[in-house]
Amino acid sequence: MTDNTNSTNEKQQFYRKKHKEEMKHHVLTFAMMIAFTLIAFGLVLAEVSPMFTIPIIIVLAAVQVLFQLYYFMHMNQEGHEMPALMIYSGIFAAVLTVLALTTIVWW
């Protein structure tokens, strides 16, 4: 952080440009998410075989969530190593929990 007053303005301009580029990605991400949602709802409304539909919509959900995490929540930026570690640990524990509760309980 060795900025002096002359370069401050330039810096702010540079930041703005960067932010703007990011924002473009965000809008693109949003479009993809809407598209995925439409596909998921479409599959269900079209009454395609459940064996096919269920895995597909779960994958679509997972991808949407990755979009949220990496773009909307900026996990693609630097300085997110520990957050990523903890989120993935959380997902690990979450998957184990869901797996256990869907397989090894009595019905």
Among 60, 57, 61, 59, CA closest to 44: 57
Asked if 16 touches another protein (CB under 8 A), the answer is: yes
The two counts, helices (H) then strands (E), for the chain are 3, 0
Residue selected from 2, 4, 6, 107 as contacting another protein according to rule CB under 8 A? 107
Interatomic CA distance for residues 29 and 68, integer angstroms: 8
Scan residues 35-64 and list those touching another protein (CB under 8 A).
37, 40-41, 44-45, 50, 53-54, 57-58, 60-61, 64
Q: How many residues does the chain have?
A: 107
- 13 touches another protein by CB under 8 A: no
Nearer to another protein, 65 or 76 (CB): 65
